[in-house]
Structure 1
Amino acid sequence: MQEAIEVVVVEDDPTVREAVGAYLRANGYAVSSFGDGVSARTALRDTVPDVVIVDRMLPGISGDELCRDLRSFSDVPIMLLTALGQVEDRIEGFEFGVDDYLAKPFSLRELLMRVGALVRRSQVTQAAVGEVRAGVFAIDPLRRRVWVRGEEIALTGREYDLLHFLVRNQGRPLGREEILREAWGWSFGEASTVTVHVRRLREKIEEDPRDPVHLRTEWGVGYRFSAEGDRS
C-alpha cells in the first residue's frame, strides 16, 4: 500500500486550519497542523513532509521568516497563504523561496489542486533518467540535484524546474509565458514570477549575476540559456 503524501499546515486561525486539514485528509493526504511558526519550525527540523502550507501572518515568527528558515535547509515545496493580493506582495513571497501562493479567501478545491501540482512537480515520474551534462552544468533528475562548475548548488523546487527546462532548451529564446506553461505547468500566472526566479537563479549559477553569461535576457522575447557561457 502506498504511503499517504504528508502535508504540514501552519495557520493560526483555527477555523481555517481545521478546514484545510479536514479537506486534505478527506482527499487522502496525511496532515500535521500547527498554530504558530515557532512550534512548526521546531517540528520541521525533525520531519520531511511532501508539502508545507504556511500562513504569512503568524504569531511568534512570521510566515516569511519561517519560509526563509525552512528554505535554508530544505527544498520541500512551500505554499504561502496570504491576505495580501497585490503583485508586489506575491513577488516578495517568491523572493524568500516559496513555490506557490494562494490569496485569502480561497477555495478548498483550488488549494487541493495546487497541492497536487506541487507534489507532481517534486516527484520524478520518468521511468529511466540519467545525469544530464551541459557545459559547466550537471543535473541528476532522479535526485533533483545540480552541480555548477563541479560544485553542488541548493535550488528550490521551482528553481530546479526552471533550470532543467532551460538546459533542455538551451540556445532557444524562451518567452515568460512559455516558461510558466512548460516549466511549471501553469495555464495562467504572473509573468513577473518568471523574472523573480530568473534573478534568483542567476545569483546561484552565474559568477557575476550582474553580467550573466549563461542566463541572458532576450529583449522583447524573454530569456536564452547557454550552458557554455555566451557574452554576445
Structure 2
Amino acid sequence: MTPPRILIVEDETALAEVVRDYLSAEGMAVDVLFEGTDAVSTALTGNHDLLILDLMLPGVDGLTICRELRRTSDVPIIMTTAKVEEIDRLLGLGLGADDYLCKPYSPRELVARVQAILRRAAGRADHAATAPASRLEIDTERWVARLDGKALNLTRREFMLVHSLAARPGRVFSRDDLLARAFPDDTEVFDRTIDSHIRNIRRKIATISDNDPIRSVYGVGYSYDG
C-alpha cells in the first residue's frame, strides 16, 4: 500500500523538521518547503494527499497559496497560524482549507488531525466508487452540461459555475469562492452577479426536473447536492 504523501510548507525550520519526523514515524512520506514560492506548483505536481500550510511565509504567503490551489485542486489543506484571531478571519474568508491550527501546537495533535482528514478523504473516495452515477454530466471539451441525460443549454459563465459547484458535491461555496474558482480572470463578474446566474441556471434545470440539485445556504452561498 502506498503511504500517504504530505507536503509541509513552513519557514520555521525546526518546527517543520519536528512535524516531518512525527509524520514519518506514522509511515507517511513527507516533503518540506521552507518558503512559499514553489508551493502551488509542487502541490499540483507532487501527487500529495495533504498539505500543511503556514499562513506567514517568505516568497508567497499561505493565503495566496490556498486561493491558487482551490482554483484547480481539492487536496486537503491544514492551515497554521501564529495568531488565534487570524483563524476567525480565515474562516470568514471561506478559503476552503479543511482545518486550521494555531501555533504553538502539539505535533501529536497535528498528526491526529492529518490522520482524521486522510480517513475522511478515503471514505469519500470509497463512497464515490460505489455511489450511483451522478444526475449531472459535465463535458468540459464540448462545454456541455446534461442533467438526467438532457442538455441544460448553459451559457459559458453558467457552465463554469455549475462545473465549479459540481466538482465538490456537498461543499458550501461563498460567492467569493465561486468568483475565484469559476471566474478567476473575468473582471465583469461580481459577487451579486452570481445570484443572477444561479437563478438562470435554476430556470433551465426546472425545464428538465423538479428536483433542483443546487442548494442555497442563507448568508453564505451555494452548494451542489445532486
Superposed pair shares fold, TM > 0.5 = yes
Report the counterpart of residue 168 of structure 1 in structure 2. none
Greater fraction helix: 2
Q: CA deviation at 1:138?
A: 5.5
CA contact (8 A) 1:95 1:200 kept: no
Distance 1:78 1:227 in 2: 22
Task: Return closer, same or farther for 1:161/1:105 CA change in 2, 3 Å cut-off.
Answer: farther
The structure with more radius of gyration: 2
Report the counterpart of residue 174 of structure 2 in structure 1. 199
CA contact (8 A) 2:173 2:223 kept: no
Report the counterpart of residue 56 of structure 1 in structure 2. 55
Report the counterpart of residue 13 of structure 2 in structure 1. 14
Report the counterpart of residue 34 of structure 1 in structure 2. 33
Residue type at the aligned position of 1:209 = D
Distance 1:154 1:225 in 2: 10
Distance 1:227 1:78 in 2: 22
Task: Return closer, same or farther for 1:58/1:131 CA change in 2, 3 Å cut-off.
Answer: same
Please list every run of 5 or more consecutive structure 1 residues that lacks an aligned counterpart in the other structure.
140-145, 164-196
Is 1:209 the counterpart of 2:209? The answer is no
Task: Return closer, same or farther for 1:132/1:89 CA change in 2, 3 Å cut-off.
Answer: same
Report the counterpart of residue 210 of structure 2 in structure 1. none
Task: Return closer, same or farther for 1:209/1:100 CA change in 2, 3 Å cut-off.
Answer: farther
Alignment of 1:46-125 (within 5 A): 46-86=45-85, 88-92=88-92, 95-123=94-122, 124-125=125-126
Task: Return closer, same or farther for 1:155/1:59 CA change in 2, 3 Å cut-off.
Answer: farther
Is 1:132 the counterpart of 2:134? The answer is yes
Report the counterpart of residue 189 of structure 2 in structure 1. none
Task: Return closer, same or farther for 1:107/1:75 CA change in 2, 3 Å cut-off.
Answer: same
Q: CA deviation at 1:53?
A: 0.7
Q: CA deviation at 1:45?
A: 4.0
Report the counterpart of residue 163 of structure 2 in structure 1. 153
Task: Return closer, same or farther for 1:155/1:109 CA change in 2, 3 Å cut-off.
Answer: farther
Equivalent in 162, 172, 176 of residue 170 of structure 2:
162
> Structure 1 residues 10-19 or 71-80, which shifts more?
71-80
Cα displacement string for residues 153-189 of structure 1 (whole angstroms, at most 9, x for unaligned residues): 2369xx82534xxxxxxxxxxxxxxxxxxxxxxxxxx
User: Taking structure 1 as the reference length, what is the TM-score of the superposition?
Assistant: 0.62
CA contact (8 A) 2:215 2:222 kept: yes
Task: Return closer, same or farther for 1:75/1:200 CA change in 2, 3 Å cut-off.
Answer: farther
Residue type at the aligned position of 2:174 = R
Please list every run of 5 or more consecutive structure 2 residues that lacks an aligned counterpart in the other structure.
139-144, 183-191, 203-213
Task: Return closer, same or farther for 1:227/1:55 CA change in 2, 3 Å cut-off.
Answer: closer
Task: Return closer, same or farther for 1:35/1:147 CA change in 2, 3 Å cut-off.
Answer: farther
Distance 1:132 1:108 in 2: 39
Task: Return closer, same or farther for 1:59/1:121 CA change in 2, 3 Å cut-off.
Answer: same
Q: CA deviation at 1:27?
A: 0.6
Q: Secondary structure at the match of 2:52?
A: strand
CA contact (8 A) 1:37 1:58 kept: yes
Q: CA deviation at 1:72?
A: 2.3
Residue type at the aligned position of 1:153 = H
Q: Secondary structure at the match of 2:130?
A: coil
CA contact (8 A) 2:9 2:35 kept: yes
Cα displacement string for residues 114-162 of structure 1 (whole angstroms, at most 9, x for unaligned residues): 11222122221246222132xxx469xxxxxx98758462369xx8253
Q: CA RMSD in A?
A: 3.8
Identity of aligned residues (%): 29
